[in-house]
Structure 1
Amino acid sequence: MLNSLMRRIAGRCETHDRASYVVTARLEQEAGMPASPPPADFTDAHLDPNLIDCGHAWCRTRRH
């Protein structure tokens, strides 16, 4: 409970403020860096947090 309260106070979402391969690869491409190899797990390689609705209204307004 304390963790979720601290995240909310800081404006951090447990779902969307987490590193994912899709987001990292996109940032690497935009920066002109060589792409990192994808993870072996299919789910980890294709998980895009921006497609997930975490259910928090404050998070949706912050991301858009």
Structure 2
Amino acid sequence: MRITLFRSRMTDEFGQVRAELMASTHVFSSLGGRTVEEAMEAGMDPKRIWLAVCEAFDVPPERR
């Protein structure tokens, strides 16, 4: 998954403002105690990050 697709899915699922806020403030234990932005900066795979977001926020399987 490319970062642009990840960002698009975040916006589609949560709306632009909430997606941006979540990416910069919500800490995910499944990402090693990182926010989305920190995980991206650490070079984590965007698909792994997306799946962590989906699990944490109960995104239905058909939109994962």
| Common topology (TM > 0.5) | no
Larger RCO (CA under 8 A, 6+ residues apart)? 1
Whose Rg is larger?
Answer: 1
Q: TM-score, normalised by structure 1?
A: 0.26
